[in-house]
Structure formats: structure tokens, C-alpha cells
Amino acid sequence: MTYSMVRLGSYERMKGWLRSNGHASTGTLLLSSMVAGGLGGIAGNPAGE
């Protein structure tokens, strides 16, 4: 559940920020979704396996 919450929450924040600044093109939204997925992966996996 942590992975999904971080991924969706961070993507929505980045998307809102991009739209408010007028930079919400398809490329920037795609990049922000990749960054959000990476952040979710970091939060969802324990560091010391």
C-alpha cells in the first residue's frame, strides 16, 4: 500500500504544479509519472535486504 500511496500522491502533486505553471505537456507528464514511479519504488522496498 505504501508504494501506491507514494506513487499516486507524488504524481498528483507534480501534475498540479506543472498545470499551475503552464508546463503540462505530454512529455513533462510522462517524465513526472516516471519520477513518481521511482519514488514509489524507493519507498516500497526496504533498503537493507
- Give the pLDDT band of residue 47 (cuts 50, 70, 90): low
Q: Looking at the predicted structure, is the pLDDT value of residue 48 above 60?
A: no
- Per-residue cell: 45: 522496498
Q: Looking at the predicted structure, is the pLDDT value of residue 1 above 70?
A: no
Amino acid at 4: S
Q: Which residues contact 43 (CB under 8 A, 6 or more apart)?
A: 2, 3, 6
Report pLDDT digits (tens) over 6-19. 999 999 999 999 99
- Give the pLDDT band of residue 43 (cuts 50, 70, 90): confident
| Residue ranges of domains in the chain | 2-38
- Per-residue cell: 26: 505530454
